Amino acid sequence: MASVEFKSVTKSFGDFKAVSEVNFNIGDGEFVCLLGPSGCGKTTSLRMMAGLETPTSGQILIGGDEVTHLHPKDRNIAMVFQDYALYPHMNLADNIAYPLKVRGEAVANRHGRAREVADVLKIGHLMDRLPSQISGGQQQRTSLARALVYPAKVYLFDEPLSNLDAKLRLEARGFLNHLQRDMGMTAVYVTHDQAEAMALATRIAVMDQGKIVQYASPIEIYRRPATTFVANFVGNPPMNLVEVDGTQAGGQLVLKGEGLAMAGLPMTDAIGNALASSSKLTLGVRPEHLSLTAAGATNSISAPLFANENMGPESLVTIDRGEGARVTARIFTDDHLHVSDQVSLSFSAEHVHLFDAMGKRIPAVGE
């Protein structure tokens, strides 16, 4: 197991910068998720770690050694591909044992080892089958087995669960979580599914437009998203973002917006700095921190009901503030609400997130 470090790594394809001046390091034994929408550079970053792309500039270190221009085969890493890349002409045993074959292991040894790994992954009984003869979940585990069959410094995962249906994905996620804790492996895991990242990662690097926007533990990212982008990406449903106008009045911050009724918030230097450049702020509240309230309550937001989705234990109540600006609340009641009813949702001041005009988080008191 080894650490991974990026030193101002840039990757351009022509004029397009897929990854731009990225710096970060992954500690030994960490499970890091690269999270972001498609095209954000997360897969390119992973492929540069694997050696499948060469950085335009910057350095990549694995275990403290520079590997920037090292051929993938010389990096001693393992990787699970999104499409599994199982060799259609080899049976499962040969597929799983292939890394051992190129390492010169004897047939008996490598098949024995492959069988051990396969048994752990509960595909041991399928060793004679071809990849086309097994299910998608089994294929996924086969590709996992092929990565696990030899001790690698770093394990790379490129959206390995995205081709599975919801139930299998949940199952595989749990298994990976268990495995990581068991093996203590260094892993880098690319995904666009925030739930997967939250569940698996010790740290998450949220990427947008070739840059790392925030690199922190899942709980930190959930509690203190660094930008509106992160706030909007993490959480299910994501954080509600309301554009507001902020003014300073009597040592307090007063926020005004359509249907918004709020008490003043305590001023900080950071707020002052933000207001100095623009009065346009963004107010963020997570759906789970909203609850139904009577009209006109303080710290509430009101608008006509747009949708009420019953999810079993909870309901998702969405109100429409016009022009597509909607606010969703997660509520553990089954009140009967009707479309176009005026609904007010309240929140407490401690759950308020503020972002400046550039979308950057304004630290709350005590952060």
Partner 1 sequence: MTTEPISTQPQRKVRNFALLSNRAGAAFMLPAGLLVSVFVIVPFFWVIFVSFTNRTLIGKTALNPDFVGLGNYLALFDPATFFQRGQFGFSLILTTQFVLMSALVGQALLGLLLAWLIQTVPPWIKRITETFVIAAWILPEVVIGFAWFAFLDRDAGTLNMLLTGLGLPPGDFLLQQPFWVIVVFNTWRGAAFSMMLFNSAFSSIPPSYFQAADVAGASSWQKFRDIGLPLIRGHIVTDLILITMWTFNTFTPFLLTNGGPSYRTELVSIYNYRVAFQDFQFGKGAAVGVIMMLINLAFALIYLRLGRKKAPKS
Partner 2 sequence: MNLTIPAFFGRIAFSALAALIGAVFALPLLWFLFAPFNAQAQMGLAVPDPWTLSNFVTVFGNSYAVQALWNSFIQATGGVILVGAAATLAAYALSRSSVPGKGAVTYVLLLFSSVVSGSAAMVPIFLIISAAGIMDTHVAVILTFAGGLLPTAMFILRDFIDSIPKSYEESAMVAGASPVQAFFDVALPVIRPGIVVVVVWSFVNIWGSFLIPFVLLRSSDNMPASVAIYSFYSEAGTPIVTLLAAYSLIYSLPVVALYLFVSWKFGFRFFGGIKA
**Shorter beta-carbon distance to partner 1: residue 54 or 348:** 54
Among 53, 54, 45, CA closest to 23: 45
* 91 near partner 1 (CB under 8 A): no
Task: Kindly state the number of chain residues that form the binding site for partner 1, as judged by CB under 8 A.
Answer: 17
In what helix (H) or strand (E) does residue 161 lie, and over which residues does it extend? Answer: none
Chain positions 42 to 61 lying near partner 2, rule: CB under 8 A, are: 50-52
- x-or-dash pattern for partner 2, window 127-146, by CB under 8 A? ----------------x--x
C-alpha to C-alpha distance for 33 and 190, rounded to whole angstroms: 6
Running DSSP on this structure, what letter comes out for residue 363? Answer: P
C-alpha to C-alpha distance for 354 and 282, rounded to whole angstroms: 6
Quick one: what does residue 73 bind among partner 2, partner 1, none, with the CB cut-off 5 to 8 Å set by partner type? partner 2
* Smallest gap from residue 155 Cβ to partner 1 (A): 20
* 338 near partner 2 (CB under 8 A): no
> What is the DSSP pairing of strand 353-355 with strand 361-362?
antiparallel
Distance from the first to the final alpha carbon of the chain:
34
Dihedral angle over CA of 334, 335, 339, 343, nearest 10: -120
Q: How far is CA 305 from CA 22, 58, 313, in A?
A: 43, 51, 20
Among 244, 229, 237, CA closest to 318: 237
Quick one: what does residue 125 bind among partner 1, partner 2, none, with the CB cut-off 5 to 8 Å set by partner type? none
* Smallest gap from residue 87 Cβ to partner 2 (A): 6
- x-or-dash pattern for partner 2, window 66-105, by CB under 8 A? -----xxx-xxxxx-xxx-x-xxx--------xx-xxx--
Quick one: what does residue 13 bind among partner 1, partner 2, none, with the CB cut-off 5 to 8 Å set by partner type? partner 1
Binds partner 1 by CB under 8 A, chosen from 10, 20, 24, 52: 52
Residue 4: partners with Cβ closer than 8 Å, 6 or more residues away? 25, 26, 49, 60, 61, 62, 154, 186, 188
* 20 near partner 1 (CB under 8 A): no
* Smallest gap from residue 66 Cβ to partner 1 (A): 5
C-alpha to C-alpha distance for 212 and 224, rounded to whole angstroms: 15
**Shorter beta-carbon distance to partner 1: residue 59 or 291:** 59
- Single-letter code of the amino acid located at 5: E
* 72 near partner 1 (CB under 8 A): yes
**Shorter beta-carbon distance to partner 1: residue 16 or 332:** 16
Q: SS in 3 state form for 282-301?
A: EEEECHHHCEEECCCCCCEE
* 107 near partner 2 (CB under 8 A): no
Quick one: what does residue 105 bind among partner 1, partner 2, none, with the CB cut-off 5 to 8 Å set by partner type? none
**Shorter beta-carbon distance to partner 2: residue 52 or 254:** 52
In what helix (H) or strand (E) does residue 247 lie, and over which residues does it extend? Answer: strand 240-249
**Shorter beta-carbon distance to partner 1: residue 3 or 20:** 3
* Smallest gap from residue 115 Cβ to partner 2 (A): 18
User: Exposure string (b/e) for 244-267, b if CB count within 10 Å is 16 or more?
Assistant: bebeeeeeebebebebbbbeebeb
* Smallest gap from residue 61 Cβ to partner 1 (A): 8
C-alpha to C-alpha distance for 237 and 345, rounded to whole angstroms: 16
Q: List contacts with partner 2 (CB under 8 A).
A: 50-52, 71-73, 75-79, 81-83, 85, 87-89, 98-99, 101-103, 143, 146, 150, 156
Positions in the binding site for partner 1 (CB under 8 A): 3, 5, 13, 16, 51-54, 56, 59, 61, 64, 66, 68-69, 71-72
